Amino acid sequence: MLRYMTAGESHGKGIVVILDGMPSGLMLEEKFINTELTRRMFGYGRGGRMGIEKDRVEIIGGVRKGNTIGSPVGMLIVNRDHKIDKLPDVTSPRPGHADLAGLQKYNLKDARDVLERASARETAGRVAAGAVAKLILREFDIKILSHVIKIGSVEARAGGLTFEKVLELTDESVSKVRCADKEAEKLMCEEIDKAKKDGDTLGGVFEVMAVGLPPGLGTYAQWDRRLDANLARALMSVPAVKAVEIGDGIECAGRKGSRAHDAIQYNSGEKRFTRASNNAGGTEGGVTNGEPLILKGYMKPIATLGDPLASVDINTKEESSAARERSDVTAVAAAGVVGEAVTALELASAFLEKFGGDSIEEIKRNYEGYLEQVRKI
Ligand code: EPS
């Protein structure tokens, strides 16, 4: 099992993450982790902060001569914009942010103390940890990507594309918001421009796909080990995500069973069971079924508005506009990368739980044995 935890404030010294339960013998490519951190900063509509930071990881534990040694991996991402003690007080909480509930909960007088930790900056730590999880999964040919399927009112017509096709179409060197539908992407950018001009913000929907998964991760045997539940929790923990969908879960709720479930077939050449469709999104009974994992995260608009909503000053109790902070107009593309990271962490954890996890070599042996067993069914 993999466990992780982060600490650090948005404008503090940095974000730190500890990843416990790491197997030995994994080459921890710092360059790959940094590429993932850069991907999180990407996306049209991101704010000024992304022009200041150049997120880089410093590995501070768990690695010797480039390889993991079985101890917890510790990583630090230093904040360039370290100014937490000089920032002004925030006394008009922003609707939609943790400001007001945080003030009440922690008995604070300045919402700065809340927002510094509630900020999505913390997700840089999770992306670093997720990159390590991706490196574990890569050893077993499991790959993960994300793409944007909606920003504001603009929806992509990209359903049914393969993993490889989405990867090609969302290449970050040409894409603006990691959307596979180029026509929709153009409209998304126009909507972002308009929202910015109006002092407003946008939400949207990202999809995370994982391919190469074996059947049998997670279990129906106990509620808290159902993989679909754990994936939903992980995605829901990404700031601003208000709903999660697995496969075509929402649409399937209104279909007949005969149109919702995925007929079973057998490929005798590859000695494996396949499906005629993938409405289930890769899990049945809380267990992976060997089909691509398809998850969607529904993100509300960023809570910091250029033209703020009404709020109340917590000192005077008088009406005052909500606080304005430098922020993003939208961050759906970035949330997709965080979605990839938390998905990778859940999958790697379930993988280590199933195949025993003290060294990569041991896991490979166990994995091969399991695949052989599955082929005999
Ligand atoms: C973020 C850093 C923040 C915001 C954003 C995410 O930078 P700053 O607050 O210095 O402008 O861009 O935070 C939020 C959306 C939020 O609600 O707090 C980051 O690194 O992802």
User: Considering the domain boundaries, does residue 163 fall inside one?
Assistant: yes
- Mean pLDDT of the 119-123 span: 98
User: According to the model, what pLDDT value does residue 117 have?
Assistant: 98
Report CA(328)–ligand 1 centroid distance (Å): 7
* 212 Cβ below 6 A of ligand 1: no
pLDDT at 250 exceeding the cut of 70:
yes
Report CA(116)–ligand 1 centroid distance (Å): 9
User: According to the model, what pLDDT value does residue 153 have?
Assistant: 98
User: Considering the domain boundaries, does residue 324 fall inside one?
Assistant: yes
User: According to the model, what pLDDT value does residue 160 have?
Assistant: 76
DSSP state of 48: T
Indicate the burial class of 260 (C-beta count within 10 angstroms; 0-12, 13-18, 19 or more). middle
Short-list 249, 170, 222, CA closest to 353? 222
The pair of three-digit structure tokens given for residue 148, joined into one six-digit string: 């944007």
Contacting residues for 294 by C-beta, under 8 A, at least 6 apart:
207, 208, 209, 246, 247, 278, 281, 282
User: Considering the domain boundaries, does residue 273 fall inside one?
Assistant: no
- Mean pLDDT of the 67-84 span: 98
pLDDT at 312 exceeding the cut of 80:
yes
- Mean pLDDT of the 313-335 span: 96
User: According to the model, what pLDDT value does residue 226 have?
Assistant: 98
Instruction: State the total domains in the chain.
Output: 1
Report the alpha-carbon distance of residue 260 to residue 30 in Å, rounded.
43
Counting residues of the chain whose pLDDT is more than 90, the rounded percentage is: 96
User: Considering the domain boundaries, does residue 349 fall inside one?
Assistant: yes
User: Considering the domain boundaries, does residue 276 fall inside one?
Assistant: no
Round the average pLDDT of the chain to a whole number and report it.
Answer: 97
User: Considering the domain boundaries, does residue 287 fall inside one?
Assistant: yes
Range of the domain at 322: 3-247+282-375
Report CA(327)–ligand 1 centroid distance (Å): 6
Count CB neighbours of 83 within 10 A.
10
The pair of three-digit structure tokens given for residue 166, joined into one six-digit string: 């989405």
> Which residue has the CA at smallest separation from atom 12 of ligand 1?
327
- Mean pLDDT of the 151-156 span: 98
pLDDT at 282 exceeding the cut of 70:
yes
- Summarised one tens digit per residue, pLDDT across range 195-222 is 999 999 999 999 999 999 999 999 999 9
pLDDT at 158 exceeding the cut of 70:
no
Q: What are phi and psi of 21, to 5 degrees?
A: 95, 20
DSSP string covering 188-240? HHHHHHHHHHTT----EEEEEEEESPPBT-S-SSSGGG-HHHHHHHHHHTSTT
Q: What is the pTM of this model?
A: 0.97
User: According to the model, what pLDDT value does residue 357 have?
Assistant: 77
User: Considering the domain boundaries, does residue 182 fall inside one?
Assistant: yes
User: According to the model, what pLDDT value does residue 362 have?
Assistant: 97
Atom index in ligand 1 nearest the CA of residue 81 equals 10
- Mean pLDDT of the 329-344 span: 98
Report the alpha-carbon distance of residue 311 to residue 60 in Å, rounded.
43
> Which residue has the CA at smallest separation from atom 18 of ligand 1?
119
User: According to the model, what pLDDT value does residue 191 have?
Assistant: 98
- Summarised one tens digit per residue, pLDDT across range 162-187 is 999 999 999 998 899 999 999 999 99
- Three-class SS of residue 365? helix
pLDDT at 325 exceeding the cut of 90:
no
- Mean pLDDT of the 87-96 span: 97
- Summarised one tens digit per residue, pLDDT across range 352-374 is 999 987 999 999 999 999 999 99
CATH (domain of 360): 3.60.150.10
